[in-house]
């Protein structure tokens, strides 16, 4: 896309309008229903924490001005807008869509196993299998990519942007480097294409999923039960038993700790079973008070991501140095 088009008023207005529509899209974390459900989930937390309660006190508890006006939070807001513009301008030209992947997978299965008549099941059974398969595959590949973003130092430099947040707000979910966003977009296309291709081969072309307002049933439930609290200052644990199966908001906050032992745990998005398999599960009952951000050596100050320019440029510089060193050693 030419720079002139990228900076055009029409392009900016279209993207601003799309951002405002996040409030009405059940596939977005900022969907107003998820925000309302998060507020309702916080009520018992506030009730247990404060003996003296009031409507004003509750509002200040949920939206502390010092947190939402901090430099870290302001960067989150800016990244939400700037990254949306970058994605709209560049990603359509570099992201493979789900459809050709699905066709390729289905064709490959047909080539290997020959053509067969679609498996005969009730429409409800097919919808249930497809919905569950799509959710589990998506959750596992999210975990896997997240795990490798931490383990591969080249990619960690880009993922550091997300972990550089020193305070957590629901907008922190959008605090990511465009390179990381690109990797997640590719992951989504490949995963959905694989699942659709497999199910197309097994059940035929009439695939549907159980959805609520256009969102996968399980995705809707995950977002409804506290997805916006995951990036927040509010400690909400599901208890040890449930946290062995489902990642709680508190567990994700542990993942944002500035202590390596803690931020190298709880890579899962919704399901905790992947962390159990990889021995990276950390339950809320196992940790104490948290501080967020990147680890800082004693007596030093981490200013690598203190400006928007550094947030976008530093990962390229550091990962480039690592790659150059690896190639020249």
| Confidence at residue 297, expressed as pLDDT on a 0 to 100 scale | 66
Give the predicted TM-score (pTM) of the model: 0.91
Q: What distance, in Å, lies between the first and last C-alpha atoms of the chain?
A: 38
- Report whether 267 contacts 163 (CB < 8 A): no
CA distance 41 to 14: 34
Which residue reads 């459809």 in tokens? Answer: 99
| Confidence at residue 37, expressed as pLDDT on a 0 to 100 scale | 97
CA distance 177 to 157: 10
Which residues are CB-neighbours of 251 under 8 A, at least 6 positions away?
Answer: 237, 243, 266, 272, 282, 283, 284
Mean pLDDT across 177-203: 96
Structure tokens at 75: 């960067």
pLDDT in tens, 224-236: 999 999 999 999 9
**59-68, 121-130, 207-216, 300-309: segment of lowest average pLDDT:** 300-309
Q: Domain of residue 95: give its range.
A: 3-328
- Going by pLDDT thresholds of 50, 70 and 90, the confidence category of residue 92 is confident
Nearest alpha-carbon partner for 28 in 215, 229, 163, 208: 215
Q: CB neighbours (10 Å) of residue 325?
A: 9
- Going by pLDDT thresholds of 50, 70 and 90, the confidence category of residue 6 is low
- Report whether 231 contacts 72 (CB < 8 A): no
- Going by pLDDT thresholds of 50, 70 and 90, the confidence category of residue 56 is very high
CA distance 31 to 189: 22
Q: What three-state secondary structure class fits 216?
A: strand
Kindly compute the dihedral angle of the four CA atoms of residues 240, 244, 249, 253, in this order, to the nearest 10 degrees.
90
pLDDT in tens, 264-300: 999 999 999 999 999 999 999 999 899 999 987 654 4
- Going by pLDDT thresholds of 50, 70 and 90, the confidence category of residue 15 is confident
| Confidence at residue 303, expressed as pLDDT on a 0 to 100 scale | 62
CA distances to 72, 143, 169, 208, 314 from 30, rounded to whole Å, are: 19, 22, 11, 25, 29
**Higher pLDDT, residue 253 or 96:** 253
Report how many domains make up the chain. 1
- Report whether 86 contacts 178 (CB < 8 A): yes
| Confidence at residue 301, expressed as pLDDT on a 0 to 100 scale | 52
- Exposure string for 99-110, b = 16+ CB within 10 A, e = fewer: eebbeebbeebe
pLDDT in tens, 112-137: 988 778 888 899 999 999 999 999 99
CA distances to 144, 307, 316, 317 from 313, rounded to whole Å, are: 26, 10, 6, 6
Structure tokens at 149: 């973003």
| Confidence at residue 324, expressed as pLDDT on a 0 to 100 scale | 79
| Exposure on the CB side of residue 88, measured as CA atoms within 13 A | 21
| Confidence at residue 153, expressed as pLDDT on a 0 to 100 scale | 93
Task: Check pLDDT > 70 for residue 3.
Answer: no
């Amino acid at each position: 896309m030419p720079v002139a088009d990228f900076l055009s008023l029409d392009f900016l207005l279209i993207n601003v309008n799309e951002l405002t529509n996040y409030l009405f899209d059940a596939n977005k974390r900022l969907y107003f229903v998820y925000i309302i459900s998060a507020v309702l989930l916080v009520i018992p937390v506030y009730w247990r924490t404060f003996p003296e309660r009031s409507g004003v006190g509750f509002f200040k508890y949920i939206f502390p001005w010092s947190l939402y006006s901090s430099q870290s939070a302001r960067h989150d807001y800016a990244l939400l807008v700037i990254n949306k513009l970058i994605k709209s301008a560049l990603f359509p030209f570099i992201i493979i869509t789900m459809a050709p992947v699905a066709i390729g997978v289905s064709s490959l299965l047909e080539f290997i196993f020959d053509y067969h008549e679609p498996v005969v099941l009730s429409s409800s059974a097919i919808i249930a299998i497809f919905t569950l398969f799509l959710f589990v595959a998506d959750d596992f590949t999210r975990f896997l990519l997240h795990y490798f973003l931490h383990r591969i130092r080249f990619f960690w430099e880009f993922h550091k942007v997300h972990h550089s947040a020193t305070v957590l707000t629901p907008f922190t979910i959008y605090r990511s480097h465009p390179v990381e966003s690109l990797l997640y977009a590719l992951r989504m296309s490949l995963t959905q294409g694989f699942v659709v291709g497999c199910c197309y081969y097994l059940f035929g072309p009439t695939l549907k999923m159980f959805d609520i307002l256009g969102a996968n049933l399980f995705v809707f439930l995950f977002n409804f039960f506290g997805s916006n609290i995951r990036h927040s200052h509010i400690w909400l644990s599901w208890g040890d038993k449930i946290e062995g199966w489902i990642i709680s908001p508190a567990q994700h906050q542990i993942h944002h700790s500035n202590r390596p032992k803690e931020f190298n745990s709880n890579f899962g998005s919704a399901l905790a079973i992947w962390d159990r398999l990889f021995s990276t599960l950390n339950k809320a009952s196992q940790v104490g008070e948290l501080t967020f951000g990147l680890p800082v050596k004693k007596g030093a100050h981490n200013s690598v991501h203190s400006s928007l320019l550094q947030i976008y440029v530093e990962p390229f510089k550091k990962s480039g140095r690592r790659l150059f060193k690896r190639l020249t050693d």
